[in-house]
Homo-oligomer: A and B are copies of this chain.
Amino acid sequence: MAVTDEAIEKIKGMIVSGALRPGDRLPKESELAAELGLSRNSLREAVRALSLIRILDVRQGDGTYVTSLDPQLLLEALSFVVDFHRDDTVLEFLAVRRILEPAATAMAAARISEQQLNALTNQLDKLGEAPSVEELVACDLEFHRGIVQSSGNSVLCSLLDGLSGPTTRARIWRGLTQEDAVSRTLHEHRAILAALRDRDAEAARSWATVHIASVEQWLRSSL
């Protein structure tokens, strides 16, 4: 194995074993390089790779630190990976989202706070009757993110965040080409919110399913 890969494994090992804990500062590059038995250049490749996936946080002029290792932070890397997928796999991502989002919405029904409910209501009100497609899609993302956060599962939340990205373009496209998509989306959002306010997990789940299925159906028919 290449020395850089070894270094990646060793640093990973130090973190997993607990020798390095979240927030800890690593030895300076030259010291760590000597410690692991490689050059600073090669070590930097390892550090750079780990920082791309948010394991390490390098701050110029300061030092290199272990991140908080929050699921949210780490799964952020997922969206980077997902960006590489072409449209032909969007359906598969959407299918997964169709599984997760209703479940998250149902979970949220039991846990969402009054405050959060009001915030979501305000958000929908603010959008008005005839928003632009871009506004609608942005609001769509924000609306679902707010709900999923209330599910109380940060892994679930990050995963959905990552999966929602690639379907964004598809949703915009849909809004532009399907006439009643905008009004239907607005209606479905209201219905989901109402179900959450009623603490009706099953209704919330169903509306969320309908919401995503309609996008899926449209996408399937137009590919």
Interface residues of A (CB under 8 A from B): 2, 4, 8, 12, 15-16, 41, 44-46, 48-53, 55, 60, 69, 71, 74-75, 77-78, 80-86, 89, 92-93, 95-96, 99-100, 103, 153-156, 159
Contacts of A155 in B (CB 8 A): 89, 92-93, 95-96
Alpha-carbon distance A123/B4, docked complex (angstroms): 39
- A78 nearest in chain B by CB position: B78
In the complex, the answer to whether B74 meets A84 with C-beta atoms within 8 Å is yes
In the complex, the answer to whether A74 meets B69 with C-beta atoms within 8 Å is no
Alpha-carbon distance A46/B52, docked complex (angstroms): 9
Nearest Cβ in chain B — how far from A86, in angstroms?
A: 8
Main secondary structure of the interface of A (DSSP, over half): helix
In the complex, the answer to whether A100 meets B96 with C-beta atoms within 8 Å is yes
Known: A45-B49, A99-B99, A159-B159. 18 other contacts (CB 8 A): A8-B52, A12-B84, A41-B44, A50-B52, A52-B52, A53-B81, A69-B85, A71-B85, A74-B82, A74-B84, A75-B78, A77-B77, A78-B78, A89-B155, A92-B155, A95-B156, A96-B155, A99-B103
Output the residue of A52, A60, A153 with the most chain B CB within 10 A: A52
Contacts of A48 in B (CB 8 A): 4, 45-46, 48-49
Alpha-carbon distance A92/B159, docked complex (angstroms): 11
In the complex, the answer to whether B156 meets A92 with C-beta atoms within 8 Å is yes
Contacts of A83 in B (CB 8 A): 12, 16
Contacts of A93 in B (CB 8 A): 155
